[in-house]
Amino acid sequence: MGKVLCQNKKARHDYFIEETYECGIELTGTEIKSARQGKINLKDSYAKVVNGEVIVFNMHISPYEQGNRFNVDSKRQRRLLMHKREIRKLLGYTTLEGLTLVPLSVYLNSRGLAKLELAVAKGKKNYDKRDDMAKKDANRKMEQAIKNRY
């Protein structure tokens, strides 16, 4: 994983991550320029398999300042580039098992291409979130006790 442009921190809080995939994003010229400046927001974004293609919805890429007429809608649907067998697998997860496709992060790989980390996730209930927060708090207190002891 290269330079991380954007992360969806809320996704790990709201979902159990079952499996992750790396996929390319189909972007226009001004979108990639804006993305390289880190003007991406993955909050509330999700993906679906539509007509044999994986589409990401609600991913916000701010318009590029020098883009003028070449700029496109900042919340448009964007196609994700994946192998057909992976798409079929994702379709099975979402239809049969009722899991959700959630973008975790957008980054540039070593060749400078924009990639999206897509997770197959299962929604957490409120009590699961409380358990996670309690574990995190307990670990923090243990670390602090060890640190203060030495």
Domains of the chain: 3-124 (2.40.280.10)
pLDDT more than 70, % of the chain: 95
pLDDT tens digits, 18-46 = 889 999 998 888 888 888 888 888 888 88
C-alpha angle with apex 117: 66 to 85, nearest 5 degrees? 115
Distances in Å between the Cα of 29 and the Cα atoms of 60, 86, 114, 116 are 15, 27, 12, 17
The model's pLDDT over 105-137, given as tens digits with 9 standing for 90+, comes to 989 888 888 899 999 888 877 777 788 888 888
pTM for this one? 0.75
Torsion sign over Cα 33, 35, 39, 41 = positive
* DSSP code, position 2: -
DSSP designation for 90: H
